[in-house]
Amino acid sequence: MPVFFDVPAFHHSKMVNFLVDTGSTYSALTEKEAMLLGLDCGMLPESKKQAIGFGGTFRNKIINRPVFLTFRSNKAEHKITYSSGFEVVCIPHDATPQERESMLRYTPCILGMDILDKFEVYVDKRKVELTLVS
Amino acid sequence: MIAEVESGMSATIEKTESFRLSRENLEWFKENYENLKRKYDNQWVIVQKREVVGNSSTYDDIIELLKKRDRKNAMVEFIDSKQIAMFF
- ipTM value for the complex: 0.78
Q: What is the CA radius of gyration of chain A?
A: 15
Domain span at residue A124?
Answer: 2-133
Pick the residue from chain A with its C-alpha nearest to B14.
Answer: A13
Q: What is the pLDDT of residue B82?
A: 80
Strand partners, A123: A130
In tens digits, chain A (134 residues) has pLDDT values of: 889 999 999 888 888 999 988 888 889 999 999 999 989 888 899 887 766 554 556 788 999 999 999 988 777 888 999 988 899 998 888 889 998 999 899 889 999 999 998 888 887 777 666 777 77
Please answer yes or no on whether A106 and B86 come within 8 Å at the CB atom.
yes
What integer is the mean pLDDT of B7-18?
Answer: 71
Q: Which of A111, A99, A113, A100 is nearest to A35 (CA)?
A: A100
Whether A4 and B19 lie within 8 Å, measured CB to CB: yes
> Residue B45 has what pLDDT?
97
Query: With contact defined as beta carbons under 8 Å apart, do B65 and B54 qualify?
Result: yes
DSSP classification of residue A65: S
pTM equals 0.83
Contacts of A3 (CB under 8 A, 6+ apart): A15, A16, A17, A18, A69, A70, A71, A111
Residue B63 sits at the chain A interface (C-beta within 8 Å): yes
- pLDDT band, residue B20 (cuts 50/70/90): confident
pLDDT mean over B5-21: 72
B22 versus A67: the higher-pLDDT residue is A67
Residue A41 three-state SS: helix
Count of A-B CB contacts under 8 Å:
46
Q: Which amino acid is at A79?
A: K
pLDDT score for B43: 97
The 3-state secondary structure of chain A, one letter per residue:
CEEEEEEHHHCEEEEEEEEECCCCCCCEEEHHHHHHHCCCHHHCCEEEEEEEECCEEEEEEEECCCEEEEEECCCCEEEEEECCCEEEEECCCCCCHHHHHHHHHHCCEEECHHHHCCCEEEEECCCCEEEEEC
Within 8 A of B78 by CB-CB distance, chain A residues are 104-106
| Predicted pLDDT at A128 | 66
Nearest to B19 among A23, A72, A108 (CB): A72
What domain count does chain A have?
1
Chain segment B26-77, per-residue pLDDT in tens = 899 999 999 999 999 999 999 999 999 999 999 999 999 998 887 777 899 9
Residue A105's nearest CA partner among B37, B56, B77 is B77
B74, A13: Cβ pair inside 8 Å? Answer: no
Greater confidence, A24 or B5? A24
Task: Indicate yes or no: CB of B88 within 8 angstroms of CB of A17.
Answer: no
For chain B, give every domain's residue range. Answer: 2-79
pLDDT number for residue B2: 60
Let me know the angle formed at the C-alpha of B53 by A109 and A12, rounded to the nearest 5 degrees. Answer: 45
From the list A16, A39, A105, A3, the residue with the least C-alpha distance to B77 is: A105
